[in-house]
Amino acid sequence: MSRTDAIGAAYLVCAILFIIGLRRLSSPATARSGNRLAAVGMAIAIAATLFDERVLSFGWIVVGAIAGGVAGAVGARKVKMTAMPQMVALFNGVGGGAAALVALADYHDTVGLPGHVEVRIIASILFSAVVGAVSFSGSMIAFGKLQEVISGAPTVVPGQRFVTGALAAVVAVLCVILGTGHESQALLAVTMAIALVLGIQMVMAIGGADMPVVISLLNAFTGLATASTGFVLSNNVLIISGTLVGASGTLLTQMMGRAMNRTITNVVFGAFGTGGGAAAAVGAGAVDGQVRATTAEDVAVMLAYARRVVIVPGYGLAVAQAQHNVRELADQLERRGVDVRYAIHPVAGRMPGHMNVLLAEADVPYPQLFEMDDINPEFPRTDVSLVIGANDVVNPAAQNTPGSPIYGMPILKVHESAAIVVLKRSMNTGFAGIENELFYDPKTSMLFGDAKASVASLTTAVKAV
């Protein structure tokens, strides 16, 4: 077996480990080992590549690997669980950046060679370069928005759609020029620069609440850019892994879009939050009735004597980092024999399943976590629904008000339970900027304040009951 064959075999093992690893991610019990299997596969692929005959020296590889590896390891160790989405955005961005840079270097090498360059190589290089660049700059903006370095509000330039379309068209035209025999490294650099601007432009216009969908989409982009690099290098492991990520990212993006009742084009081009503003103002006038404020002591009595309590955690809980306090409250209630469940909306938190991670961090046993479709039939048999920092995902307008911007979005039907307690910082509207008629329901009482402080005082009050 030649050296090339051996490396190819190692790549095959790597691809198999990636697929088995992803397969094992489908159950909480095997997920961790799945991730580790994939990591082993990655180590094998990297080690095999070092034996490639094209690798002539290791100095700069080691420098780059140490610099990047240390940065990645420190970031991954230090990040708080609530800041996980922006960390994923950051890692996704550098992955896209790597794909774009590899494309740039490959182009530099290819055009230097005498003779005609195959169109398929040029096309793959252009795809990696452009998509990698969009993913890099887009992810950095997503990181900035989630980290709140830049405003989470959609920043729309005049003629947003026209500008985005024009930038995309310019990139496409430049790619055609480059792809049809015009060899110019400067032109490729210009194309990539415009692609970077396109990424910034696209993500700046999207509100902070939609960042999960954006990250998922950009994850798919980076995957496809990686696969395309595989076509340039005729490397199957890059094609397979990049495509796996591309397929999974696309599927996840679709699932999230469905959970928010929006299409991907609507997320990318809709500039939600600004368009919804007008509708929200109209909606605010339409809701009448009074909001009932309550005290921690009153709520504690309700909870302590309930048979079943369903906790609906939302983004507000994540921001206040109240997951540990919620677990304590639930423990207190369970000790009194209350059946406590958690209802998790698919887009609660800032990424799909983000809420599950936060609650798992607080040691909430995952059999207590119920997904939307499983818990919704249970609300009529629920004594108290405790809504903590969630808003749009429990808004009955999604079912009852055809004019509402969120009409048609699947919601948690807390309004069907016997009583509802909403923990909320103030009467501000949610991300979507829509008034919530649930708060005016006679069955609803509101406990205002910071989620963490409110939950802590509830726990104390329950102990005292």
- The residue among 219 and 457 lying less far from another protein, judged by its C-beta, is 219
- The residue among 223 and 405 lying less far from another protein, judged by its C-beta, is 223
DSSP helix/strand/coil, 228: helix
Per CB under 8 A, does 277 bind another protein?
A: no
Per CB under 8 A, does 284 bind another protein?
A: no
Cα dihedral across residues 76, 80, 85, 90: positive or negative: negative
- The residue among 77 and 158 lying less far from another protein, judged by its C-beta, is 77
- The residue among 210 and 441 lying less far from another protein, judged by its C-beta, is 210
- The residue among 191 and 222 lying less far from another protein, judged by its C-beta, is 222
Contact 414, 312 (CB under 8 A): yes
Binding segment for another protein (CB under 8 A), chosen from 106-114, 190-198, 269-277, 428-436, is 106-114
What tokens does 43 get? 């180590």
Per CB under 8 A, does 123 bind another protein?
A: no
CB of 288 to another protein, least distance (A): 36
DSSP helix/strand/coil, 394: helix
How many C-beta neighbours within 10 Å does residue 56 have? 6
The C-alpha atoms of residue 285 and residue 401 are separated, in whole angstroms, by: 14
DSSP helix/strand/coil, 410: coil
For the segment 299-358, give every residue that binds another protein (CB under 8 A): 331, 334-337, 344, 346, 351-354, 356-357
CB of 322 to another protein, least distance (A): 16
- The residue among 219 and 382 lying less far from another protein, judged by its C-beta, is 219
Contact 325, 86 (CB under 8 A): no
Per CB under 8 A, does 117 bind another protein?
A: no
The C-alpha atoms of residue 370 and residue 86 are separated, in whole angstroms, by: 26
**Axis crossing angle, helix 119-146 with helix 84-112, rounded to the nearest 10:** 150
Per CB under 8 A, does 416 bind another protein?
A: no
CB of 11 to another protein, least distance (A): 8
DSSP helix/strand/coil, 218: helix
CB of 57 to another protein, least distance (A): 6
Residue of 261, 220, 260, 264 lying closest to 242 (CA atoms): 220
CB of 283 to another protein, least distance (A): 29
Q: How many residues bind another protein (CB under 8 A)?
A: 119
Per CB under 8 A, does 71 bind another protein?
A: yes
Binding segment for another protein (CB under 8 A), chosen from 29-37, 265-273, 406-414, 426-434, is 29-37
Hey, what amino acid is at 273?
G
The C-alpha atoms of residue 314 and residue 385 are separated, in whole angstroms, by: 13
Binding segment for another protein (CB under 8 A), chosen from 98-106, 192-200, 312-320, 415-423, is 98-106
CB of 251 to another protein, least distance (A): 5
The C-alpha atoms of residue 111 and residue 189 are separated, in whole angstroms, by: 14
The C-alpha atoms of residue 338 and residue 309 are separated, in whole angstroms, by: 7
DSSP secondary structure code for residue 423 in this structure? E
- According to CB under 8 A, which one of 35, 263, 295, 400 is a site residue for another protein? 35
- Give the β-pairing of 339-344 and 308-313: parallel
**Per residue in 174-185, is it b (16+ CB within 10 Å) or e — as a string?**
bbeebeeeeeee
**Axis crossing angle, helix 211-233 with helix 236-259, rounded to the nearest 10:** 160
What tokens does 164 get? 């985005």
- According to CB under 8 A, which one of 6, 9, 67, 464 is a site residue for another protein? 67
- The residue among 23 and 292 lying less far from another protein, judged by its C-beta, is 23
Options 106, 210, 392, 441, the catalytic residue: 392
For the segment 36-55, give every residue that binds another protein (CB under 8 A): 36, 38-39, 42, 45-46, 49-50, 52, 54-55
CB of 147 to another protein, least distance (A): 15
For the segment 192-231, give every residue that binds another protein (CB under 8 A): 215-216, 219, 222-223, 225-227, 229-231
Per CB under 8 A, does 142 bind another protein?
A: no
Active site residue 373: no
- The residue among 227 and 414 lying less far from another protein, judged by its C-beta, is 227
Per CB under 8 A, does 16 bind another protein?
A: no
**Per residue in 197-222, is it b (16+ CB within 10 Å) or e — as a string?**
bbbbbbbbbbbbbbbbbbbbbbbbbb
Per CB under 8 A, does 389 bind another protein?
A: no
Residues known to be catalytic: 392
